[in-house]
Amino acid sequence: MGKRDQVMLIVGGSSGMGLATAKLTVNNGFRVIIASRSQAKLDAALNKIDSQNATAYRVDTLDEKSTAELFEKVGIIDHLVITAAETDFLSIKTSSANEVKGLFDSRYFGPFRVIQAALEHMDPAGSITLFSGTAGVKAIKEYEVLASISAAIDGLARTLALTLAPIRVNSISPGLIDTPAIRSDSGGDDDATAVGNEMPTVLADRVAHRGIFVSDAMGLVEEGGSGLGPAEAAARLGVSTSQLVALLRREPTALQTVNTAREQLALRPLR
């Protein structure tokens, strides 16, 4: 199956990183399906994507029935990207356990439900991309709730990379992203800028490029058994071998997945 025939489902694709990813992938010849809770946002996103290769469906990832119904509509997919999640910055000092449970339900169990429902609809040569957070690997004062959720997502991705092989599973920790959700949750542009002074923001379209690059890099390097080694993979991606390995090192799940596949092919691991 060529790249132009592949289908990518982006849950959370109506805004922010999800919308940026949808624009990028549809321009690269994928058939893109975006899904989110808001029909109004989906309609607006389709206008921005402006392609006959893009479709949209409403889904509530907090509801198992709604999530299952989504996959009955989309059928077989090659790639799954999940960016949908609440962005509340909760602290142990001011938040109740129920509030924290609610955020876990959105940011961890939401993706969990989506992946569970997707299993029978994924092409074995496909990929799943999750988004966690830098707080999961670097302690940030008063980010203990997001740190816990991010670590849980990273742990899920690392283990699913083994459980679901040959499907590639990766989690990306992009940092604080300049998206409508972040600005809304922080109280507006001024507050978002104040947060950004402590943790610089990154534009959503740059994260989309990075996510697609990681996915492509993993796929190419894993094809080593058919003669495509790291050097050739790097050349095909337009970077040096050292740049390719350095990027995969920054995404531990991607590196683990690649090395697991290379070990099965009796190839030396990348380090």
Q: Among all residues, which ones are annotated catalytic?
A: 132
Tokens representing 7? Answer: 């289908």
Measured in whole angstroms, how far is the alpha carbon of residue 176 from the centre of its chain?
14
Nearest alpha carbon to residue 122 among 6, 26, 265: 6
**Separation of alpha carbons 140 and 162, rounded Å:** 30
Which phi and psi angles does 177 have, rounded to 5°? -105, 135
State the burial class of residue 51 (Cβ atoms within 10 Å of its Cβ: 0-12, 13-18, 19+).
middle
Count other Cβ atoms within 10 Å, centred on residue 185: 15
**Separation of alpha carbons 187 and 192, rounded Å:** 7
Q: How many DSSP H helices and E strands does the chain contain? A: 12, 8
